[in-house]
């Protein structure tokens, strides 16, 4: 356990992350605010406005009670019909999920296979789109949470929009921003993302259980015509009407409180704090002689090869001896990598992690040369002080 006083900061996993103080206080408040009451309607409306500001969109935002995956499925079911053709660059477990969901809905899915740790490049995407004029959408993953790889969404969106102009095609852009909203720079409208998906338990420092979908005009047009079966996730039930189904009320309170606080801090300081936290962790693992998995590092999670040291043993020691939870690798990466998230972690929590990590590695006869990184680390940690 690291952090100050009663605030246990022990989840260094890339979702859920430790809740903000604001989320924690709100979720513990006694009683439930009925979802058909005026006070709750005002809460939902305020949360929607804050989410629009967080996505940087003037489009609609739908709030769902589900995990982020539910919102990914909702996007597919509301935007496509069986037989539509889409493009999915696959570079890990979470981008693969887009392909799996599309395939479950009978959507014809062209994949670009990308090595773990690498991200799709604008040229790859454009070539695949040029090769098949039937493709009507690209489904992207901003932060591939299995490797910590950040996709250059802005550059890919620009390349797709250029192609749209050149070929008079409409190509919808859908992005999984579950680990990037309020973590990495994201500008939904400026970049021209038609539909972005996010969830409560990452950058929003809130408990898991809520998911969010932004919808621009082109996406809204498709929502009205898509023929995939859907009911609970049918966006038409959520737009411009009464809340259709009983939402997870305490999670709405918690997320609203947390996001209000983040909005007060402002987007740039929040992005910078998470970026600097990620760079601090990267610095630390490099000082331990380990290297990151991602070529282009996302701020939401640093995945790193543990080399000749056993990843599971490091994770278990961190948990057992220091009460710190980190994530292991998934699928083929299990036992070979660890994944550590800096989301919402202030200098105290990060230094606590550094001390615990060094101590665990020392017992495995690996020295972490902290003195060599001290100056740079302290400079990075300054940016993270917004969390304390």
Q: Single out the segment in contact with a copy of itself by CB under 8 A; choices: 47-55, 60-68, 122-130, 164-172.
A: 60-68
Nearest distance, CB of residue 64 and a copy of itself, angstroms: 8
Nearest distance, CB of residue 200 and a copy of itself, angstroms: 9
> Which residue in 113, 231, 240, 308 binds a copy of itself (CB under 8 A)?
231
Q: Single out the segment in contact with a copy of itself by CB under 8 A; choices: 128-136, 149-157, 187-195, 202-210.
A: 202-210
- Say how far apart CA 5 and CA 25 lie, in whole Å: 15
Helix axes 21-28, 249-265, angle to 10 degrees: 150
> Which residue in 175, 234, 278, 345 binds a copy of itself (CB under 8 A)?
234
> Which residue in 232, 266, 363, 369 binds a copy of itself (CB under 8 A)?
232
Q: Which residues pair with 90 in a beta bridge?
A: 113
Nearest distance, CB of residue 358 and a copy of itself, angstroms: 23
Q: Single out the segment in contact with a copy of itself by CB under 8 A; choices: 45-53, 166-174, 187-195, 231-239.
A: 231-239
| Residue 48 φ/ψ, nearest 5 degrees | -60, -45
66 makes contact with a copy of itself (CB under 8 A): yes
User: Between residues 105 and 353, which has the closer beta carbon with respect to a copy of itself?
Assistant: 105
69 makes contact with a copy of itself (CB under 8 A): yes
**Helix or strand run (H / E) with residue 269:** helix 267-287
Six-digit token string for 282: 């990267």
In sequence order, what are the residues at sequence separation of 6 or more whose Cβ sits closer than 8 angstroms to the Cβ of residue 156? Answer: 120, 121, 122, 125, 138, 140
In sequence order, what are the residues at sequence separation of 6 or more whose Cβ sits closer than 8 angstroms to the Cβ of residue 323? Answer: 1, 8, 10
Are the CB atoms for 19 and 207 separated by under 8 Å?
yes
- Say how far apart CA 105 and CA 286 lie, in whole Å: 43
In sequence order, what are the residues at sequence separation of 6 or more whose Cβ sits closer than 8 angstroms to the Cβ of residue 378? Answer: none
Helix (H, G, I), strand (E, B) or coil at 152: coil
36 makes contact with a copy of itself (CB under 8 A): yes
Which residues sit at the interface with a copy of itself, rule CB under 8 A? 6-8, 10-11, 13, 15-16, 18-19, 24, 27-32, 34-37, 65-70, 72-73, 77, 82, 100-101, 104-106, 199, 201, 207-209, 228-232, 234, 244-251, 319, 325, 327
């Amino acid at each position: 356990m690291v952090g100050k006083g009663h605030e246990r900061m022990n989840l260094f996993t890339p979702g859920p992350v430790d809740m903000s103080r604001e989320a924690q206080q709100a979720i513990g408040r006694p009683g439930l605010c009925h979802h058909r009451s005026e006070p709750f309607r005002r809460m939902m409306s305020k949360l929607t406005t804050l989410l629009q500001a967080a996505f940087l969109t003037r489009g609609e935002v739908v709030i769902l009670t589900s995990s982020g995956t539910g919102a990914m499925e909702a996007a597919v079911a509301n935007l496509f019909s069986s037989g539509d053709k889409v493009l999915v660059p696959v570079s890990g477990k979470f981008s693969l999920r887009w392909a799996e969901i599309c395939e479950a809905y009978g959507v014809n899915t062209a994949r670009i296979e990308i090595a773990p740790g690498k991200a799709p490049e604008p040229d790859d995407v454009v070539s695949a789109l040029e090769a098949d004029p039937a493709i009507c959408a690209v489904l992207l993953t901003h932060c591939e949470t299995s490797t910590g790889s950040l996709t250059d969404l802005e550059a890919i969106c620009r390349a797709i929009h250029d192609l749209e102009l050149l070929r008079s095609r409409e190509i919808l852009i859908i992005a999984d921003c579950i680990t990037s909203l309020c973590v990495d720079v994201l500008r939904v409208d400026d970049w021209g993302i038609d539909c972005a998906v996010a969830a409560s338990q990452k950058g929003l420092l809130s408990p898991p259980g809520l998911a969010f979908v932004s919808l621009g005009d082109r996406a809204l047009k498709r929502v009205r015509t898509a023929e995939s079966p859907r009911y609970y996730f049918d966006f038409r039930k959520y737009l411009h009407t009464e809340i259709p189904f009983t939402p997870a009320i305490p999670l709405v309170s918690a997320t609203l409180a947390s996001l209000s606080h983040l909005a007060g801090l402002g987007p740039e300081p929040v992005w910078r704090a998470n970026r600097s936290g990620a760079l601090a962790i990267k610095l630390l693992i490099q000082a331990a002689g380990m290297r990151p998995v991602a070529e282009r590092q996302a701020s939401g999670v640093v995945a790193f090869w543990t080399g000749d040291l056993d990843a599971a043993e490091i994770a278990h020691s961190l948990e057992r001896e220091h009460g710190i939870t980190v994530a292991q690798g998934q699928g083929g990466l299990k036992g070979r990598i660890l994944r550590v998230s800096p989301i919402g972690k202030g200098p105290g929590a990060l230094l606590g992690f550094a001390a615990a990590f060094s101590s665990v590695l020392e017992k495995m006869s690996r020295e972490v040369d902290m003195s060599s990184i001290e100056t740079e680390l302290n400079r990075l940690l300054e940016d993270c002080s917004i969390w304390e």
